[in-house]
Amino acid sequence: MSDEELPIETPGTEAETAQSAPTENPPVQRPPMQTPWWVSDSQSSSSSLTPLLPVKRVLQVTWYMALAMSLIAGLVGALVGKAAFDNSPHLVTSNKVIERSPNSIAGIAAKVSPSVVEIDSTTSSGTDTGTGFFIESNGYIMTNNHVIEAAVLDNSKITVKLANNKEYTATVVGRDTSYDLAILKIDVTGAPALVLGNSDGVQVGDPVIAIGSPLGLQGTVTSGIISAKNRPVTTSSDNTAGESAFIDALQTDAAINPGNSGGPLVDATGAVIGVNSAIASLGNSVSGQPGSIGLGFAIPINQAKKQADQLIKTGTSHYPIVGMSLDSNFAGPGAKIANISTAILAGGPAEKAGLKAGDIILAIDGQNIETANDLIVAIRAHSIGDSVTLKYQRGSVTKSVQLTLVASK
């Protein structure tokens, strides 16, 4: 029922009210009110209808809800879009402190590195870089002869750079071309000398660490194992006499590159077991220098110690010899005594043992000999005064003889 169907009472004037007062008019019959469907019968008699207000209130609530839902939907959409299209990395970080054992690679490197030095020698043809290490606290440094030989022959300056970047001019105490070793000295006291180990006790598979300045990168640390022992290695020399070094080397797969020469090869305790000296290479790199292929060679420290002691005491050193010249053109197997009149040193061990030109040396102390270099390396791995047994062939006859090694001139 609408408002237009309801009778409307309008107030009249006082006169009209007075005139109509005496007249008794019958009560106006109002049509029965119908109860809207949204109002219960119990509420119909006590409540008046205001149908527009509830509708208006509903519209207000719906508007706010719609706005809120729109905002929420927008936020959710933004988050989903970010997750789907945001390519920014989600990095996981950790603040955990790594505990390193003193015998770990890091621990050994930290202990040994302060004792390792870079050696720079400048000549008219350029600058050569190598490595060395303190063997005594009063400034004695061991390195390879080939690291400083060019500077010595050129009368050029040799500079030693310490791990703290301090630089000193070095003097050459002595050098030994036959073992590719040299001893330098700088004016310091209290230098951190390294412990020299026992290379005779090294086994294939032992872990090792090499420290040096490959390609001038001072303090570089690499690690590996001893991959072989008693490798005969020959290195050439820059001197005018054309002398070569013969090394009964330790082989390692620790990366060794140009500039590592003269640096220490240390064991799992940090003791020096070798002096890094040479590498095998398949060819030259782009820069013109050979690089590591995992075949590096070091002079056993027991041999290096003997030569260093002589160099520090006298400035020179000697190596053991048998007293015979070998034929370098003989292909083997074995090492052939040269067929020349001067092949056997007069009064030397070979002559005393009855060896003659043309004899072929097949073994030394039970170790087979394949080439002349094998025999030279095996002899120089001994000490002066050692006795050795040589097995040799003369024609179709094979014999063995014992002799004592003497010092070279």
Please indicate whether residue 146 is annotated as part of the active site: yes
Nearest to 300 by CA among 139, 133, 158, 179: 179
Measure CA of the first residue to CA of the last residue in the chain; give whole Å.
Answer: 140
DSSP 282-318: SSB-TTSSB--SS-EEEEEHHHHHHHHHHHHHHS---
Distance CA 121, CA 156 (A): 7
Catalytic residue among 120, 146, 178, 374: 146
Residue identified by tokens 């050029």 is 156
Token representation of residue 334 = 């074995």
DSSP 183-215: EEE-S-SS--PPPB--GGG--TT-EEEEEE-GG
Asked if 195 and 272 count as a contact pair (C-beta separation under 8 A), the reply is: yes
Catalytic residue among 120, 128, 176, 180: 180
No. of H helices and E strands in the chain? 8, 20
Q: Among positive and negative, which fits the CA dihedral 128, 130, 135, 137?
A: positive
Residues annotated as part of the active site: 146, 180, 261
